[in-house]
Amino acid sequence: MKVLAAMSGGVDSAVAAARAVEAGHEVVGVHLALSRMPGTLRTGSRGCCTIEDSTDAWKACEKLGIPYYVWDFSERFKEDVVEDFVAEYAAGRTPNPCMRCNERIKFAALLEKALALGFDAVCTGHYARVTQDAEGNFELHRANDWAKDQSYVLGVLTHEQLKHSMFPLADAQSKAEVRAEAGRRGLSVAKKPDSHDICFISDGDTAGWLAEKIEMTPGAIVDETGATVGAHTGANQFTVGQRRGLKLGTPAADGKPRFVLEIRPKDNTVVVGPQKLLAIDDLRGIKVSWAGEPIPAVARGEEFDCMAQVRAHGEPVAATAWMEPGSGDAGSVDAGSGDVAETGPQLVVRLKEPLRGVAPGQTVVLYQGTRVLGQATIDAARSLQRASAEPASTQLTAE
């Protein structure tokens, strides 16, 4: 096959490309320039898409004896990932930029261009597996190394995209094995640190970065009863589940710490309360997509058992899920705006074990065994304990 290897400049993509070459494929390496003003050097394990990363990608391709190109996707990345990230925070939601990057850049823009140029597949260093069932339908599964498994951030891939996706590290037993292989192959990135945090916020200060992009307006911090307990300089700097940095003027009656339960950008209010009220039982998701062909229960409109995961390395919990048709008359209350609006089809996920700190804007990915079924962006969440503890008008969601 003719394979386009996405070369980030890290060890995973370099070894993935090496394995594709060794398998006999015709491989071409490409590094995506995602910033018009890349930094010269990385700061330890922070940041990516720097000049150093581009150079490391070139060195890996030279070692492997494959062509190397740099494609400028900076404008597309700015619009589809960075600006989306800012807009989501401005609306009081907590987005996952890695999901958007995989969805809109690596497996939309990049794959689209690769297919147009005659490539059969895009190869990346993600730890995940693509398989085919008895009918030849493509499925996405977890990698062997669950500690490094990245199937969560690939949950946005469609059946058509999975047909043209190649993940050579699916069988890797550990990251140490991949680094050792890179060393044996003479790849200079064998000991290069992994990237962490958000790639376009290289210093890791998300709140400071957002403060330069979003107008911060002072407002009230209230408890779960609606009583004012403090003030903030901008609701956008908080995230659901946050404990530190609240600077509350009124301590809790029981003396225990309080956590951010909700962010309401419509009235610029931050709601705080005890940790127990962070427990979420029900999720309602929008922008639903299926990783491969939907399972029969989805097509029949039936409930199905699954495991739900809401963070890249979070523990999946048992759940029951089903699709609910949209309504032009009423919708769930949006956790960010408080508005009731027309809704399209939504994924409802009823958790059998509560999850803490779930925020609108996060992604819920559903699994059956190792298989990724699909994903949705969390639009609203509901805590049964919180619903019984406060008036309906102050709940995170309403039905």
Q: What is the pLDDT of residues 128-148, one digit of tens each?
A: 999 999 999 999 999 998 888
Closest CA to 262 of 382, 389, 125, 359: 359
Lowest mean pLDDT among 84-98, 130-144, 213-227, 376-390: 376-390
Average pLDDT along the chain? 86
Catalytic residue among 48, 61, 98, 101: 101
Q: What pLDDT, on a 0 to 100 scale, did the predictor assign at position 44?
A: 46
Question: Residue 93 — pLDDT band, cuts 50, 70, 90?
Answer: confident
Structure tokens at 289: 């997509």
Q: What pLDDT, on a 0 to 100 scale, did the predictor assign at position 48?
A: 57
Average pLDDT over residues 10-26: 97
Q: What pLDDT, on a 0 to 100 scale, did the predictor assign at position 63?
A: 97
Edge to edge, the sheet with strand 228-232 lists 228-232, 219-222, 269-273, 259-264
Q: In angstroms, rounded to a whole number, what is the distance separating the alpha carbons of residues 49 and 198?
A: 12
Burial (CB < 10 A; 0-12, 13-18, 19+), residue 59, is middle
DSSP per-residue codes, 76-96:
HHIIIIIHHHHHHHHTT----
Q: What pLDDT, on a 0 to 100 scale, did the predictor assign at position 211?
A: 81
pLDDT at residue 21 tops 80: yes
Q: What pLDDT, on a 0 to 100 scale, did the predictor assign at position 3?
A: 98
Q: What pLDDT, on a 0 to 100 scale, did the predictor assign at position 399?
A: 34
Closest CA to 11 of 190, 135, 204: 190
Average pLDDT over residues 350-368: 93
Average pLDDT over residues 257-270: 89
Which distant-in-sequence residues (6+ apart) come within 8 Å of 192 by Cβ? 9, 10, 11, 56
Pairing mode of beta strands 138-142, 128-132: antiparallel
Radius of gyration of the chain (CA): 22
pLDDT at residue 243 tops 80: yes
Average pLDDT over residues 279-292: 94
pLDDT at residue 291 tops 90: yes
Query: Where are any strands of DSSP class E within 186-227?
Result: 219-222
Amino acid at 305: D
Q: In angstroms, rounded to a whole number, what is the distance separating the alpha carbons of residues 339 and 37?
A: 39
> Hey, how many other C-beta atoms are within 10 angstroms of the C-beta on 213?
14
Element (H, E) at 323: strand 317-324
DSSP 237: G
Q: What pLDDT, on a 0 to 100 scale, did the predictor assign at position 339?
A: 41
Angle between helices 51-64 and 11-22 (to 10 degrees): 20
Number of helices and strands in the chain (H, E):
11, 17
pTM summary value: 0.85
Edge to edge, the sheet with strand 68-72 lists 68-72, 26-33, 2-6, 121-123, 165-166
The answer to whether 13 and 125 have CB atoms below 8 angstroms apart is yes
pLDDT at residue 369 tops 80: yes
Give 270's strand partners. 221, 263
Q: What is the pLDDT of residues 172-197, one digit of tens each?
A: 999 999 999 999 999 999 999 887 66
Q: What pLDDT, on a 0 to 100 scale, did the predictor assign at position 24?
A: 98
Is 199 one of the catalytic residues?
A: yes
Which distant-in-sequence residues (6+ apart) come within 8 Å of 358 by Cβ? 240, 278, 280, 283, 310, 378, 381
Catalytic residue among 61, 123, 199, 306: 199
Question: Residue 344 — pLDDT band, cuts 50, 70, 90?
Answer: confident
Q: Any alpha helices (H) in 257-368, and if so which ranges?
A: 296-299
Which distant-in-sequence residues (6+ apart) come within 8 Å of 87 by Cβ? none
pLDDT at residue 303 tops 50: yes
Q: Which residue has the tokens 């890249």?
A: 312
Q: What pLDDT, on a 0 to 100 scale, did the predictor assign at position 236?
A: 81
Structure tokens at 132: 């085919």
Domains and CATH numbers, the chain: 2-184 (3.40.50.620), 215-273 (2.30.30.280), 277-394 (2.40.30.10)
